[in-house]
Chain A
Amino acid sequence: MTTDPSAADRAGAPGAFDVVVVGAGVVGAAIARDLAGHRLSVALVEARDDVGDGTSKANTAILHTGFDAKPGTLESRLVRRGYELLSGYAAETGIPVERVGALLVAWTDEELDALPGLRDKAAENGCTRCEIVSADEVYRQVPDLGPGALGGLTVPDESIICTWTTTLALATDARARGARVLLGHRVTGVTEGPDATVLHTTRGDVAGRWIVNAAGLGADVLDRMLGYDRFTVTPRRGELFVYDKLARPLVDRIVLPVPSSRGKGVLVSPTIYGNVMLGPTAEDLDDRTATGTSEDGFAFLLDKGRKLMPKLLEEEVTATYAGLRAAIDRGDYLIEADADRRYLLVGGIRSTGLTAGMAIAEHVHGLLAGAGLALEPRADLPAPPRMPNIGEAFTRPYQDADLIARDPEYGRVVCFCERVTAGEIRDALASPLPPAGLDGLRRRTRAMNGRCQGFFCGAEVAARLAAGAPPCASAGRPAAETKEDAR
């Protein structure tokens, strides 16, 4: 129904969705999930072959309190609200979260002098438990920090979260609520009609009465297709090192630099998978596909790491990656509805978007209602999905004797470094939004994300991926639905 070439002529005909959300990152997935909770037909259109495969997959995975946001901005409000919403949703769905807390460390007198201001700003943002601490206390809290710290500011509620599971949970939930998830649909053009707008995509047309643009790095391009000229996305590359799990005892909380005009700087943080992360760099680029890492980036990170935590550099690097932040030329989120054209833009969502996503959805909901979209809640909503736990701090299948006794596949460890079992890989392949490839499987299970990077299990994991879901497991769960949709 979505690919009828005459849809443009018949704009407003039954083929159109009530709302089409473009971009299945964390923000688009959250919006689609919220809207699908109402008596509306919703489509979530994504250029890539998987949800959460753009900017959302490669961020610092911190659930922010918003302590350092600029008070009074939309971003500060939505980050605070999003923190609450996502914390609750994570508990409901099993998205792993660890409230490890953060410590901002001042290395210069100037940074030390900035701490009281940051504490006051945090209080204005509702974070009243932040405390300024001495250098001695800094080293008591993080003994392996490099020499030269002058003092710090604690941020007790700053947390780490699994960014992959977050987007996947929201998209799975949206789909369970009836939203159509259309993967591999890259928008190439737009035709506006009297009652609906038709998006021309690489897999056919998709028409919607309302269009929500949550296209992240591509949001300005889509915005211009619709005739606007109001902002430009400048991809800002952030490169990161992920250190071996054996480094984890060095870092039990997020260690942040004091923010400066040059951005938030390089942090050291535990990851939800039990590793340690160092990064990110910040480099403005023109190329929106430049997700490669660079020699300069590596040299910068090694230099920073040597000062921040010399012992960390003695450990092995398990992964290096780069993400592109969808930075725009203004200091706040850009969320605007155009009631006449039934179009809403969600632009300028930076790394805080992971935390703010569900609050952005709530805000978008309000704007759409204000613009005349009838939002009548459904009484028959399915329960939110229970997501497989891939967090290190919580029981995983290989540790669960009862589970293994019931289903031996959870005792068959396939990826040794990350202890991913055959049962988990099977489940991911049979899930409502199955992985489109190895990277998708990595994000759902952690398979091959460990220190050997496939030396032992790479061929086995690839074979299981190629074999796909067992027929019995996928019965009644049309794993290929997204492909069907494309026809």
Chain B
Amino acid sequence: MTATSVLRPDVVVVGGGPAGLTAAAALAGRADVLVLDRERATGGIPRHSDHTGYGLRDLRRVMTGPAYARRLTDRALRAGAALHTEATVTGWTGERTLAVTSPRGRYEVEAKAVVLATGARERPRPARLVPGDRPAGVYTTGQLQNLVHLHHGSPGTRAVVVGGELVSWSAVVTLREAGCATVLLTTEHPSPESYAAFNAAGRTVLGVPVATRTRVVRVVGKGRVSGVEVEDTATGRRRTVDCDCVVFTGDWIPDHELARSAGLAMDAGTRGPLVDTALRTSRPGVFAAGNLLHPVDTADIAALDGRFVADRVLDHLAGGGAADPRGVPLVADAPLRWVAPGLLRPGDPAPPRGRLLLWTDELVRVPRVVLTQDGRELSHRTLPWPASPGRVFRVPWSVVRRVRPGGGPVHVGLA
């Protein structure tokens, strides 16, 4: 066998999306940084989200996804980070050593610190257990946008979009640009999950019929999609909607393979690696950032995770930043599905942007957030914004008070 070459940067960042690129830009100059990205170009999902709305919170200006991807890439390069594209991390060969395959060869990267920023993907149809035929014309938003914006292909002429999250409207916009009408958008919730403004715009500007309390029960078509059968979950009534493509949107899951294959402690709620508020995973020197931790928040929030984690990584490189073993888990109670970060350690900083990120399965218009530990209420706070399914519910860090180190799990619930 050819001797495997080994690169030894201070920090290796896996994933060149908003979180990874921003972390790299913040670290470069202060440490030797290498970003590994498996795609042909860095930038992550914004590369093929060809609509505006990117950059608000991190760059303080708004631009399209592709422009945002280019800007983050340029910034990381200018700062002095090395970016390897078409570089697929295939596994771990040491505590902080990764095996990489690229057209330039197979190599290893041994670093003093690793930042996992591998992002999230939408659950495809099989994972949602939607039965029926297996025709062509079934997409996720990711595949659709890749097809339309990077490959200039045609998805079809009549689409059903499954899901009412922010990303679902992004799919509708992409379909329209590709000359494909959205004949129905379905959501299992009583109302679409994204911001009301989007829903109003979607219905009026885009003219998309929305079916709430509706689930897709079957895909129909030999060779090519000819329709989907949908069920009104209130009445049980079913009907078939004619279409030639169907887009399964949202329902995000972290791309957590590297975290799991490392044997890192995992968060049962987010299904990403379990991290504390310093974004440390259970392995010293291995950090995580972005939508791998909170599937999914917007790209700018992921980017700000990246900026935040850079200082924690520098602490680690300087020999500090050891984790206090008296951490207590932070656990979400129904209707909350998850909370991130999931571990509270004494002496740790507040999480990125001073916010806990949560996900709810039910709409709560005036949420009263209650924290308890060992049956004792620690704090409560009524927030003026709703907890809405399909997007992250952000809670100020100041609700986390009076936590007893070494005590039982802290529960966060809605009352």
| Contact partners of A459 in chain B: CB under 8 A | 143, 146-147, 150-151, 153
Quote the shortest CB–CB distance from A297 to chain B (angstroms): 7
A454→B126 CA distance, assembly (Å): 12
Q: Does A411 lie within 8 Å of B131, measured CB to CB?
A: no
Q: Does B103 lie within 8 Å of A411, measured CB to CB?
A: yes
Is A401 engaged at the interface, CB distance under 8 Å to the other chain? yes
Q: Does A246 lie within 8 Å of B257, measured CB to CB?
A: yes
Partner of A398 from B101, B127, B139, B218 at Cβ < 8 Å? B101
Known: A455-B122, A458-B143. A416 touches B88 (CB 8 A): yes
| Contact partners of B150 in chain A: CB under 8 A | 459
A460→B145 CA distance, assembly (Å): 12
Q: Does B153 lie within 8 Å of A452, measured CB to CB?
A: no
Q: Does B143 lie within 8 Å of A454, measured CB to CB?
A: yes
Interface string of A397-415 (1 = CB under 8 A from B): 0111110110011011100
Q: Does A292 lie within 8 Å of B131, measured CB to CB?
A: yes
Q: Does A320 lie within 8 Å of B129, measured CB to CB?
A: yes
Which residue on A lies nearest to B220, using beta carbons?
A292
Q: Which residues 278-305 of A sit at the B interface, judged by CB distance below 8 A?
A: 289, 291-295, 297-298, 302
Partner of A413 from B88, B139, B217 at Cβ < 8 Å? B88
Q: Can you list 5 A-B pairs, Cβ within 8 angstroms, ordered by A? A: A292-B134, A412-B86, A413-B86, A452-B124, A456-B146
Is A462 engaged at the interface, CB distance under 8 Å to the other chain? yes
Is A318 engaged at the interface, CB distance under 8 Å to the other chain? yes
Known: A289-B222, A320-B126, A416-B88. A454 touches B139 (CB 8 A): yes
Q: Does B151 lie within 8 Å of A463, measured CB to CB?
A: yes
Which residue on B lies nearest to A456, using beta carbons?
B142
| Contact partners of B88 in chain A: CB under 8 A | 398, 413, 416, 419
A405→B217 CA distance, assembly (Å): 48
Which residue on A lies nearest to B133, using beta carbons?
A292
Query: How many A residues have CB within 8 A of the partner chain?
Result: 45
Is B4 engaged at the interface, CB distance under 8 Å to the other chain? yes
What are the 7 tightest A-B residue pairs by CB atom distance, in nearest-first order? A453-B124, A459-B146, A408-B103, A455-B142, A459-B147, A458-B143, A401-B106
Is B105 engaged at the interface, CB distance under 8 Å to the other chain? yes
A246→B125 CA distance, assembly (Å): 18
Give A contacts to B, CB under 8 Å: 242, 245-246, 289, 291-295, 297-298, 302, 316-321, 398-402, 404-405, 408-409, 411-413, 416, 419, 421, 438, 451-456, 458-460, 462-463
Known: A292-B134, A295-B217, A416-B38. A453 touches B222 (CB 8 A): no
Q: Does B123 lie within 8 Å of A399, measured CB to CB?
A: no
A400→B38 CA distance, assembly (Å): 17
A291→B140 CA distance, assembly (Å): 23
Partner of B101 from A317, A404, A438, A463 at Cβ < 8 Å? A404
Interface string of B102-142 (1 = CB under 8 A from A): 11111000000000000001111111010111101001101
Q: Does B260 lie within 8 Å of A246, measured CB to CB?
A: yes
| Contact partners of B101 in chain A: CB under 8 A | 398-399, 404, 411, 413, 419, 421
| Contact partners of A295 in chain B: CB under 8 A | 131, 217-218
Query: How many B residues have CB within 8 A of the partner chain?
Result: 43
Q: Does B151 lie within 8 Å of A298, measured CB to CB?
A: no
Known: A419-B88, A438-B136, A462-B147. A412 touches B103 (CB 8 A): yes
| Contact partners of B217 in chain A: CB under 8 A | 295
Is B2 engaged at the interface, CB distance under 8 Å to the other chain? yes
Which among A293, A405, A408 has the highest number of chain B CB atoms within 10 Å? A293
| Contact partners of B173 in chain A: CB under 8 A | none
Which residue on A lies nearest to B4, using beta carbons?
A401
Q: Does B140 lie within 8 Å of A454, measured CB to CB?
A: yes
Q: Does B147 lie within 8 Å of A411, measured CB to CB?
A: no
Known: A401-B106, A412-B103, A416-B88. A458 touches B129 (CB 8 A): no
Which among B122, B146, B151 has the highest number of chain A CB atoms within 10 Å? B146
A2→B373 CA distance, assembly (Å): 80
Q: Does A455 lie within 8 Å of B124, measured CB to CB?
A: yes
Partner of A297 from B105, B125, B131 at Cβ < 8 Å? B131
A463→B147 CA distance, assembly (Å): 9
Partner of A399 from B103, B106, B253, B257 at Cβ < 8 Å? B106
Quote the shortest CB–CB distance from B99 to chain A (angstroms): 8
A297→B218 CA distance, assembly (Å): 13
Q: Does B153 lie within 8 Å of A404, measured CB to CB?
A: no
Known: A289-B222, A453-B140. A402 touches B2 (CB 8 A): yes
Partner of A316 from B103, B127, B133, B146 at Cβ < 8 Å? B127
Q: Does B104 lie within 8 Å of A318, measured CB to CB?
A: no
